[in-house]
């Protein structure tokens, strides 16, 4: 049971946890009951920066979700202009992450990183349609072994102020590998290759590195879903 209760914490969270504990000590010196504020903040940071292992489906062609959260939109859209791609729309799956979701991002499929681009922007609510275009973001273009291109984008949200991406140009990556993190509420977009339909629906909850978002080898049409 311990491995399910004591979830590892991403190293990006340790400065926040340490700062919260230090704040608790300061509060205790000012007025002992205030120590609980610091401890609650430390507990929240520990929860927010949790980094659980995931069981990644590894069959060739599978595209897994790069983030935990809810699918907020599925629609054709042009990939971020800073990547220098064509303006032909691709099917985009947008995943909204609340402050209660795991914020560690994962690579959606096997391939090679062929372009990275950072874009400064606004900090609108990540659930808004315009967030993909206007918000601060880190865009990544990868090429699969069969030459198809997939784009995934880390997008800052209303209270997010730091996007962490550890990928480098030319890096070979595997499906489900951790590649970064967005601090606090945010959004992650995935642009699928032409002709590939998503296997998820709007409103569906995603588990980063586990939920199959699409199958590059399948000719299945886009799915529909309903609440039951």
- List the domain range (segments joined by +) for residue 194: 62-215
My answer on whether 31 and 110 are in the same domain is no
My answer on whether 33 and 104 are in the same domain is no
Give the count of beta carbons closer than 10 Å to the beta carbon of residue 22: 12
My answer on whether 110 and 196 are in the same domain is yes
My answer on whether 166 and 202 are in the same domain is yes
Is residue 186 among the annotated active site residues?
A: yes
55 within some domain: no
Instruction: Give CA torsion, residues 7, 13, 17, 23, to 10 deg.
Output: -160
190 within some domain: yes
54 within some domain: no
Confidence of residue 123 (pLDDT cuts 50, 70, 90): low
My answer on whether 67 and 128 are in the same domain is yes
My answer on whether 36 and 75 are in the same domain is no
pLDDT single digits (tens) 59-115: 999 999 999 999 999 999 999 999 999 999 999 999 999 888 999 999 999 999 999
Q: How far is CA 31 from the centre of its chain?
A: 39
State yes or no: pLDDT of 158 exceeds 80: no
My answer on whether 96 and 133 are in the same domain is yes
56 within some domain: no
200 within some domain: yes
Give the number of domains in the chain: 2
- As a whole number of Å, the end-to-end CA separation of the chain is 31
My answer on whether 7 and 97 are in the same domain is no
129 within some domain: yes
Question: Which entry of 20, 72, 94, 186 is annotated as an active-site residue?
Answer: 186
pLDDT single digits (tens) 184-200: 768 999 999 999 999 99
Cα gap 136→1, rounded to integer Å:
39
My answer on whether 106 and 35 are in the same domain is no
pLDDT on residue 128: 64
Report the CATH number at residue 177: 2.70.70
My answer on whether 147 and 188 are in the same domain is yes
222 within some domain: no
Cα gap 156→164, rounded to integer Å:
10
My answer on whether 98 and 141 are in the same domain is yes
My answer on whether 182 and 105 are in the same domain is yes
118 within some domain: yes
pLDDT single digits (tens) 7-54: 788 888 888 899 999 999 998 888 888 899 999 999 988 888 899 999
């Amino acid at each position: 049971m311990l491995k399910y209760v004591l979830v590892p914490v991403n190293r990006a969270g340790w400065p926040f946890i340490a700062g919260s504990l230090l704040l608790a000590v300061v509060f205790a010196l000012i007025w002992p009951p205030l120590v609980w504020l610091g401890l609650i903040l430390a507990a929240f940071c520990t929860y927010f920066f949790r980094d659980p292992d995931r069981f990644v489906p590894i069959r060739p062609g599978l595209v897994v979700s790069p983030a935990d959260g809810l699918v907020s939109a599925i629609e054709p859209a042009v990939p971020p202009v800073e990547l220098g791609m064509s303006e032909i729309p691709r099917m985009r799956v947008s995943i909204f992450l609340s402050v209660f979701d795991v914020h560690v991002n994962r690579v959606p499929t096997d391939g090679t990183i062929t372009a990275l681009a950072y874009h400064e922007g606004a900090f609108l609510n990540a659930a808004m349609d315009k967030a993909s275009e206007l918000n601060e973001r880190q865009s990544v273009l990868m090429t699969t072994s069969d030459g198809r291109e997939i784009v995934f984008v880390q997008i800052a949200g209303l209270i997010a102020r730091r996007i962490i991406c550890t990928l480098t140009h030319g890096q070979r990556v595997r499906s489900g590998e951790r590649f970064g993190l967005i601090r606090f509420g945010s959004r992650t977009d995935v642009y699928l290759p032409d002709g590939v339909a998503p296997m998820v629906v709007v409103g569906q909850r995603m588990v980063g590195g586990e939920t199959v978002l699409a199958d590059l080898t399948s000719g299945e049409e886009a799915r529909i879903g309903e609440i039951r």
